[in-house]
Amino acid sequence: MTMSDIKFNCPCCGGRLAVDDRAKGTQMKCPQCLKVILVPCRGNSYASAFDSGSRGVLFWCLAAAGLLSVVAVAAALWLKTVHPPGQARVVANQLERDSHTDPQVQPGPERSQKETKSLRSAKNTAYPTLSGMYQNSLGVRFVPVPGTAVLFSVFDTRVRDFRAFVEDRSGNGDYDYQRGMPPYVLAAGKWGQQGWAFGWDKPGFAQSDDYPVTCVSWEDAKAFCSWLTETERRAGLLGAGQTYRLPTDAEWSEAVGLGSEKGNGPAEKALGEDSSPGPVKMVYPWGTRWPPPVGAGNYAGEEVEDESRRPNAYNPRSVVAGYRDGYARTSPVGSFDGNQYGLYDMGGNVLQWCEDWYDNDQKDRVLRGSDCDEGHPLDLLSSKRLSAGSARRSAAIGFRCVLVVEADR
């Protein structure tokens, strides 16, 4: 080799170059690609990276990478076809939050055993939050209500929901409805306890799956909430500190649109008449005017009076003159307009259990709302409260759940 014969390949374009030996270790511009490169100390320093053998290896590496990319794309398309996003609970919840704009109640479909199993095996990284709607495993929507730290079920617990609890013998803690007291029902023209011929599935009048469950005690409602909590925790749908329960009296007031009320507890807020502070006058779930407008809810309208003329029928205490809602007894949940928060049946249809004791005696629990047999103006007030023992069951009583998404303080 002479003084001018250092030959090497450009590391950028692979072009063959020859320079004077004295240029070794210096920088130069490649005349082919115009990139600045370092001249090696001896010839062919870069050649090995571009010889025919190395190029062959590089070719096969690139070919293998391309094949893997094709396989990955094909697998993604197959998964999208066979397992659509709606089958994954986390994705389904997000899609529901993003796409849902219509407040009309749409009861969720029954889930198959296969889908339930897949839900339990999936890792949920998007637990419910106060920032948006959540649809649970029963197809029930829960929404935030300003002034509360919980998500409210948009409607009362349905017959189908309670049936799922009763029939889950392996998960409901060996629950037995007949361990409690027989319900108070209307049958043969009278109201009272009439044995185990009646119950949550036979309240004395016709109901289908999307009607509110009745003839349930406060204890039944709490057992349902505990079952649903544990079921969804096992499925990976709820976090460890998230739980279902009944709404408190104060939360229920916020949800019906009352906000803060005068008084130091449910009993004091319910006094009324010549006692202070009493209920909030002339505030109803639909507004402040009487009588209720068309579609306000399921109350004792004139259709109840029509029903009372039949043999062995029940005579309501009061009927809203000139009002008809089309239902002599209960109605399917969500049959009437929701309120400003998207909650249905916050007045009428069935009374609703609350979490609280009614007063300091701690013997009775709070009931809010009104039922389909009530038509007196005082009975339909948003601030109306009743009390009943925790074990009492009645065809006029149901419940709705709230979801605590953060641990109660």
What does each C-alpha distance from 270 to 40, 114, 132, 275 come to in angstroms? 95, 49, 33, 9
Could you report the per-residue pLDDT of 143-198, keeping only the tens digit for each?
999 999 999 999 999 999 999 999 999 999 999 999 999 999 988 878 899 999 99
User: Residue 104's pLDDT is what?
Assistant: 38
Asked whether residue 291 is assigned to any structural domain, the reply reads yes
As for how many domains the chain has, the answer is 3
Could you report the per-residue pLDDT of 37-82, keeping only the tens digit for each?
666 665 554 433 334 444 554 455 566 666 666 656 555 555 444 4
Domain shared by 364 and 383, yes or no = yes
Domain shared by 69 and 207, yes or no = no
Could you report the per-residue pLDDT of 254-266, keeping only the tens digit for each?
999 998 788 889 9
Domain shared by 177 and 94, yes or no = yes
The Cα–Cα gap between 210 and 107 comes to: 7
User: Residue 386's pLDDT is what?
Assistant: 96
Domain shared by 149 and 18, yes or no = no
Domain shared by 62 and 96, yes or no = no
Domain shared by 89 and 153, yes or no = yes
Asked whether residue 168 is assigned to any structural domain, the reply reads yes
Flag the least confident range among 84-93, 138-147, 384-393, 395-404.
84-93
Could you report the per-residue pLDDT of 290-338, keeping only the tens digit for each?
999 999 999 999 988 776 655 445 556 689 999 999 999 999 999 999 9
Residue 211 pLDDT more than 50? yes
Q: Which domain holds residue 61?
A: 52-82
Q: What percent of the chain has pLDDT over 70?
A: 68
Highest mean pLDDT among 81-85, 238-242, 315-319: 238-242
Whole-angstrom Cα Rg for the chain: 35
Domain shared by 145 and 70, yes or no = no
Asked whether residue 334 is assigned to any structural domain, the reply reads yes
User: Residue 97's pLDDT is what?
Assistant: 37
User: Residue 105's pLDDT is what?
Assistant: 39
Could you report the per-residue pLDDT of 104-121, keeping only the tens digit for each?
334 444 444 445 444 444
User: Residue 155's pLDDT is what?
Assistant: 96
User: Residue 406's pLDDT is what?
Assistant: 83
User: Residue 398's pLDDT is what?
Assistant: 98
Residue, of 41 and 287, whose pLDDT is higher: 287
For residues 87-114, average pLDDT: 40
Domain shared by 166 and 291, yes or no = yes
Highest mean pLDDT among 6-10, 125-129, 167-171: 167-171
Query: pLDDT band at residue 15, thresholds of 50, 70 and 90?
Result: confident
Domain shared by 65 and 205, yes or no = no
Domain shared by 151 and 18, yes or no = no
- CATH (domain of 371): 3.90.1580.10
Asked whether residue 57 is assigned to any structural domain, the reply reads yes
Asked whether residue 1 is assigned to any structural domain, the reply reads no
Residue, of 112 and 203, whose pLDDT is higher: 203
For residues 205-215, average pLDDT: 97
User: Residue 163's pLDDT is what?
Assistant: 98
Task: Please state the three-class secondary structure of the chain as a single string.
Answer: CCCCCEEEECCCCCCEEEECHHHCCCEEECCCCCCEEECCCCCCCCHHHCCHHHHHHHHHHHHHHHHHHHHHHHHHHHHHHHCCHHHCHHHHHHHHHHHCCCCCCCCCCCCCHHHHHHHHHCCCCCCCCCCCCEECCCCCEEEECCCCCEEEECCCCEHHHHHHHHHCCCCCCCCCHHHCCCCEEEECCEEEECCCCCECCECCCCCCCCCECCCCCHHHHHHHHHHHHHHHHHCCCCCCCCEEECCCHHHHHHHHCCCCCCCCCHHHHCCCCCCCCCCCCCCECCECCCCCCCCCCCCCCHHHHHHHCCCCCCCCCCCCCCCCCCCCCCCCCCCCCCCCCCCCCCCCCCEEEEEEECCCCCCEEEEECCCCCCCCHHHHCCCCEEEEECCCCECCEECCCEEECCCCC
Domain shared by 179 and 271, yes or no = yes
Domain shared by 179 and 288, yes or no = yes
